[in-house]
Amino acid sequence: MHNHVDGPGRTQRFKERLEILRDSALHHQVRAHLSARRWTRRQWIHASLFTTIGVMVATIVPGFSTVTQVPAAEPYAVLSLDLPELSSTRQAGVVGDSWQIVKVKSGQTLSSLFKDLGIPKETLQRILENADAKTALAKKLKPGTELAFDLPVAGGLRSLRYDRDADHRVELTLDGDKLKERVVARETTTRTVVLSGKVGRSLNRSARKAGLTAANINSMTDEIFKYDIDFNSDLDADDRFSVVVEQTWREGELVSTSPVQAATFTVDGKLYSGFRYARPGDKPEYFTAQGRPLKKTFIRMPIPYARLSSRFGARKHPILGKMRMHKGVDYAASTGTPIMAAGDSRVQFVGRQNGYGNVVILDHGRGYTTLYGHMSRFGKIRAGQRIAQGTVIGYVGSTGMATGPHLHYEFRVNGVHRNPLSITMPPPEPLAGAQLASFRTYTANALARIRTVENIIYADVDQAPAPAQKTAMATALTTRKR
């Protein structure tokens, strides 16, 4: 009976014990699982590193994450302002109150220029009825030309102004059905100046800075001093040059610069000089201070960018297969390569001749002649014409008895063939007599100008010319008006 009473209590105690045992078993499994997943030292190091990086990123990134605040658009108001009244002159449209200066751009024509300004074609046709305007504006219009248009408030073209040349300005005025022309003489001043400078880092840059034009620089390097100075290897920064030119000025603007009249170049303390002078009836050329031409009488190689393929002397002919005297030299080059005259000459023959094919023969005087064979075509020359050294007389080809494109070049003295590669070329004919006396007077004046300027500029090479020195330099030059 007692056992029956205690049954429910024992059952309750049994359930409680069972729960305790189940919880213990579960906790044991969890502890075993955690023991199996314990982190290694490397994992703890990585975790610490990532945590540190995370903290740094959280600290730095907010500084960059600030969004730029776009300022709110401020309200604005439109006000009606009264424009100033036009002057009575403007209202009346008096001549000269509304000139517009236009500079012609590349590719722009007179027609397109008038169209851009809103000037009708009929007006353009009336302007071109003037012969002078047609020549200057329609035929010789170049980029950079300045034209002035008088366009009054009322509309329509009233006057057009342009430069006929450096000394004259033309103004065309439309007066009803008439076109009136007025030519205004413009005073120009020509100054003989000495432009001097040091080579520095770049001869071209220094020369342009001194005031020389591109043509002046080419004259120095390609005509005057090319036989004495190697401009690729001989120059130092302290080498200097001085050039005498004539500058034409108009209304305070430099209009043009003449060719080099005289020039000196000092390289490693050695002075080289050249002076421009024209013999009676001849073109100007450059001479030494002693009156000898700087240009050589003949150039050794009358064709650029060529390879010597056959020399002067006996050889087996490549076509005939026989031993024959090769009376000239051959230069292999591509078809169409230009061929130059070896010296100043008169064209003796232009045409086709035996195995030479298309051939040109030049007479240089004093018994010297040169022959150029196998040309593909001739230059713009004719028999009897006088041409200068370097003139293109034809182009490389393979006409006549030739195995490929090349120039056959012969040099003859009194009809006898000579080797162009070894013959001593005749010296150029120097000035003599009255020509030499006139030349020496000219060179003395030019050298005096150059020395005056150089003594001023290079008196102290470590200091720049003072203002007083510049004034002295100006007094050493000559000026004339016209």
338 within 8 A of 390, measured Cβ to Cβ: no
Question: Higher pLDDT residue, 6 or 287?
Answer: 287
Chain centroid, CA 111 distance in Å? 30
Domain with CATH 3.10.450.350 in the chain: 95-185, 188-295+428-482
Nearest residue to 364 via CA among 375, 380, 348: 348
Residue 464's pLDDT is 42
CATH 2.70.70.10 domain locations along the chain: 307-418
Q: How many CB atoms lie within 10 A of CB 14?
A: 10
The answer to whether residues 420 and 408 touch, using CB atoms and an 8 Å cutoff, is no
- The hierarchical CATH code for the domain 95-185 is 3.10.450.350
Query: 166-221: per-residue pLDDT in tens?
Result: 788 888 888 877 888 888 888 888 889 999 999 999 999 999 999 999 999 999 98
**CATH node for 188-295+428-482:** 3.10.450.350
What confidence tier does 265 reach under pLDDT thresholds 50, 70, 90?
very high
Look at residue 7 and tell me whether its pLDDT is greater than 70: no
The pTM score is 0.56
Query: Which of helix, strand or coil describes residue 5?
Result: helix
More confident residue, 412 or 117: 412
Read off the pLDDT of each residue in 331-349 and give the average, rounded to a whole number.
93
Which residue's structure tokens are 């305790």?
Answer: 20
List, as one string, the DSSP characters of 428-467.
PPPP-HHHHHHHHHHHHHHHHHHHHHHHHHSSSTTSPPPH
Comparing CA positions, the residue from 438, 432, 356, 439 lying closest to residue 394 is 356
How far is CA 172 from each of CA 123, 384, 422, rounded to the nearest angstrom?
A: 12, 47, 66
13 CB-side CA count, 13 A = 5
Q: Would you state the pLDDT for residue 461?
A: 46
Mean pLDDT of the chain: 80
Q: Which residues of 327-345 are buried (b: 16+ CB within 10 A; e: fewer)?
A: bbbbbbbeeebbbbbbbbb
- Sign of the Cα torsion 391, 394, 396, 401 reads negative
pLDDT score of 476 more than 50: no
Give, in degrees to the nearest 5, the angle at Cα 252 between 256 and 452. Answer: 70
pLDDT digits (tens, 9 = 90+) for 185-194: 888 888 899 9
Average the pLDDT over each of 92-106, 115-129, 157-171 and give the range with the smallest value.
92-106
Cα 70 to Cα 63, 118, 163, 392, 475, distances in angstroms: 18, 44, 56, 70, 65
Please tell me whether residue 287 adopts helix, strand or coil conformation. Answer: strand
* Phi/psi of residue 418, nearest 5 degrees: -125, 155
Residue-wise pLDDT for 369-423, tens only, equals 999 999 999 999 999 999 988 899 999 999 988 888 999 999 999 999 998 888 8
Token couple for 29: 């499994």
- Domain 307-418: CATH class, spelled out: mainly beta
What would the pLDDT profile of 29-86 be if each residue is shown by its tens digit? 555 554 545 667 777 777 777 777 777 766 665 555 454 455 555 666 666 666 555 5
How far CA 293 is from CA of 25, 52, 83, in Å, comes to 121, 87, 71
Cα 139 to the center of its chain, rounded Å: 26
Per-residue pLDDT at 470:
37
The neighbour count for residue 256, using CB atoms within 10 Å, is: 13
